[in-house]
Amino acid sequence: MSFTNELLSTVLHHAGREVSRKEFLSLAGRGLAVSVAAGALGSCQSEGPGAKAAGTPTTGTPASEVDAATTFTSPEGTKVASSEAVSPPAKVPAEVSKPIELEAWKSDVDPQSGPVPTPLPPDQRVGYAIVGLGHLSLEEILPAFGECKKSKPVALVSGSPEKLKKVAAQYGIKPESCYSYQDYDKLKDNPEVKAIYIVLPNSMHAEYVLRGAKTGKHILCEKPMAVSAKECELMVDACKKAGVKLMIAYRIQYEPYNRLVHDMVRAGKFGKPKYIQAQNSQSSANPDHWRHKKALAGGGALPDIGLYCLNTSRFLLGTEPTEVFAYTYSTPGNPLFKEVEETMSFQLRFPEGVIVDSITHYNTHDSRFYRVNTERGWIHLDNAYAYTGQRLQTSQAEGKAKMQNQITIPAQNQFATEMDHFSECILEDKRPRTPGEEGLQDHRIMEALYQSAREGRPVKLPAVQGTDVFRGPEPKQT
């Protein structure tokens, strides 16, 4: 039974009238249906002394007086209510980039909807070549194009001809726009490709960025940027020399909940931030996977998932750590951790004494959260680094009360907002919010963390003056 049917029959049943939806609609047009339902509902609500007896006729036009023009008769002879089709008032700007403003109907008591999305026409969107068709590309990035407004997939690069054929068919990519790794450099001659998105194991990022820069295409590279700060420097230089943009895929900086926390922290909500607790943990089981090979991954839990705690703390605070301390551990004899660390616990000291206390683990149940503890409250984001399911809570005192709020905002696909930001930078010739320099700074800090763990002592970092010094302008709200 549809919701409407159920509602009508519930209302009428409670009013003491058993009427099927078919009878109901054949009795009258929609106007009558509404007034009958409203009348019945009114009689339900006014039950009690003085209430109308069940079965008391409701107001409305008697069925015999309903104009035949208010019903629609299907070719099979079924009659249904009909209303005149109209287009309610709406503002429709001529520019594609300006949203249509629809007739308002919600009160400000409820959260507001909109604005109406303003996708670019497909021929104006930035075309991407996706390099590497593993978990992230197939499970997240390619599906996310469906939610993009400025980006579209136009080419694929993979070592598997079977994957290329299947994925190209699924996403409408031309067979001639599918390339092997050997043919990667031929992207240069594909005018549809404006950007390359590198989604390969970490140790391959540097080579594919350097080769990619030579094709003259802009490059979005997955995190971690590389396996050393030295490689990051080469990547930044190569892109600068080639005159192409380089962005590191720090999706959290484009995710609405994390952006809201960023705005709260920067605005000093609940006073100054004093310390942040951050955890990103998961469990793996395949010792043959590249994530467990030092040469391909560069490290274990830290560069793969601990990096989220590091990068997000820097993003929230805007400043840079001046000193770090770390401790690593790998269970002896566990084949998963023969080459890479199982866990790292680390502290980052930021200017004005702000401390970030973090742990990342490759051998515990999935747990991804942070809490920003401020002078007068806290801001807690659960599932902070997950693809979906962020839960935002705040706490502060008000008189004798401890106020704890759960804040809900519309979710957005963070891979889509990230790719659209890069496309916008290409279309409007802007610096990305998370350029190569942002990734390089993380690698400098991660190298200091490993040094600290090896030497068992805090390691100082060069002081960096200012706020957001490695970042481009803030992304537009979409």
Give the catalytic positions in this structure: 223, 308
Can residue 132 be called a binding residue for ligand NAD (CB under 6 A)? yes
Name the residue with the smallest CB distance to ligand NAD: 134
Question: Alpha-carbon distance 172 to 170, whole Å?
Answer: 6
Under rule CB under 6 A, residue 135 binds ligand NAD: yes
Judge residue 233's burial from the number of C-beta atoms within 10 Å of its C-beta, 0-12 exposed, 13-18 middle, 19 or more buried: middle
Among 223, 361, 380, 471, binds ligand NAD (CB under 6 A): 223
Is residue 273 packed enough to be buried (19+ CB in 10 Å), middle (13-18) or exposed (0-12)? Answer: buried
Interface region with ligand NAD, contact rule CB under 6 A, candidates 199-207, 328-336, 442-450, 451-459: 199-207
> Residue 325, interface with ligand NAD (CB under 6 A)?
no
Nearer CB in complex with ligand NAD: 223/371: 223
Q: Residue 436, interface with ligand NAD (CB under 6 A)? A: no
**Residue 249 makes contact with ligand NAD by CB under 6 A:** yes
> Between residue 303 and residue 322, which ones bind ligand NAD under the rule CB under 6 A?
304
Contact 381/390 with Cβ under 8 angstroms? yes
Shorter beta-carbon distance to ligand NAD: residue 201 or 432: 201
Question: Contact 362/337 with Cβ under 8 angstroms?
Answer: yes
Q: Does 136 help bind ligand NAD (rule: CB under 6 A)?
A: yes
Asked if residue 252 binds ligand NAD (CB under 6 A), the reply is: no
Candidate list 171, 290, 327, 470; residue touching ligand NAD; CB under 6 A? 290
Candidate segments 49-57, 127-135, 183-191, 440-448, binder of ligand NAD by CB under 6 A: 127-135
Candidates 57, 114, 115, 134; binder of ligand NAD (CB under 6 A) is: 134
The residue count for binding ligand NAD (CB under 6 A) is 17
* C-alpha to C-alpha distance for 421 and 430, rounded to whole angstroms: 10
User: ∠ CA 59-63-64 to the nearest 5 degrees?
Assistant: 125
**Contact present, 387 and 280 (Cβ < 8 Å):** no
Kindly tell me which of 388 and 477 has the beta carbon lying closer to ligand NAD.
388
Q: Is 11 in contact with 37 (CB distance < 8 Å)?
A: yes
Nearest Cα neighbor of 337 from 345, 328, 346, 327 is 328
Q: Is 380 in the site for ligand NAD (CB under 6 A)?
A: no
Is the backbone of residue 135 left (phi > 0), alpha (psi -120 to 50) or beta? alpha
Instruction: Please identify, using beta-carbon distances, which residue of 17 and 433 lies nearer to ligand NAD.
Output: 433
Q: Does 251 bind ligand NAD (CB under 6 A)?
A: yes
- Does residue 156 touch ligand NAD according to CB under 6 A? no
Q: Look up residue 422 and give its two tokens.
A: 């890069």
The three-class DSSP label of residue 293 is coil
CA nearest to 318, candidates 272, 358, 287: 272
For ligand NAD, give the closer residue by CB, 30 or 294.
294
Residues that bind ligand NAD (CB under 6 A): 132-136, 159, 199-202, 222-223, 249, 251, 290, 296, 304
